[in-house]
Amino acid sequence: MKGDVVVVKVLIDNINNLDRAYEFAEKCNESAVWSQLATAQLGNGMVKEAIDSYIKADDPSQYMEVVSVASKSSMSPLTVDIRTSCLGRSFMYVDAAYCYRWSSVVCLSVCLSVCQDREPCNNR
């Protein structure tokens, strides 16, 4: 309903209260409201919450932005990949990001195992 979107925009833009906006989104449970809330959460660095809200909205329109912001956040790379794959419809991007992250993990584990077989590796 258009009125509910207006209400959540007022809660976000004028009152600056994302907690109340979240409570409102839970009560009306409309995609457009969840999407507005998710955009505000993402803009405020609330990555996990934004991903949850976008999933509830079933709105993949900001998918690339979510992946970009989430990758720069303190969330673990694997968590970012798994959570955003629930959101996105473009799995090619997720697959590429997932492969890159896992290649980094595998490379790190190989380097660590080599490092354990040798004397101190302070210079690596």
Instruction: Convert the pLDDT of each residue in 34-72 to its tens digit.
Output: 999 999 999 998 988 998 898 889 888 888 788 788 777
In a domain, 11, yes or no: yes
Q: Is the pLDDT of residue 111 over 50?
A: no
Give 12's pLDDT tier (boundaries 50, 70, 90): very high
pLDDT tens per residue, range 79-98: 665 666 666 554 445 555 55
In a domain, 124, yes or no: no
Buried b vs exposed e over 74-94: b needs ≥16 C-beta within 10 Å?
ebebeebbebbbebbeeeeeb
Q: How far apart are CA 77 and CA 5, in angstroms?
A: 33
Q: What is the pTM of this model?
A: 0.67
In a domain, 22, yes or no: yes
In a domain, 122, yes or no: no
Q: How far apart are CA 65 and CA 49, in angstroms?
A: 14
In a domain, 21, yes or no: yes
In a domain, 64, yes or no: yes
Percent of the chain topping pLDDT 90: 36
Positive or negative CA dihedral for 78, 82, 84, 88? Answer: positive
In a domain, 84, yes or no: yes
Range with the poorest average pLDDT among 21-25, 29-33, 44-48, 102-106: 102-106
Structure confidence at residue 64 (pLDDT): 79
Q: Is the pLDDT of residue 107 over 80?
A: no
How many domains, the chain?
Answer: 1
In a domain, 123, yes or no: no
Burial of 73 (0-12, 13-18, 19+ CB in 10 A): middle
Please give the residue range of the domain that contains residue 98. 2-117
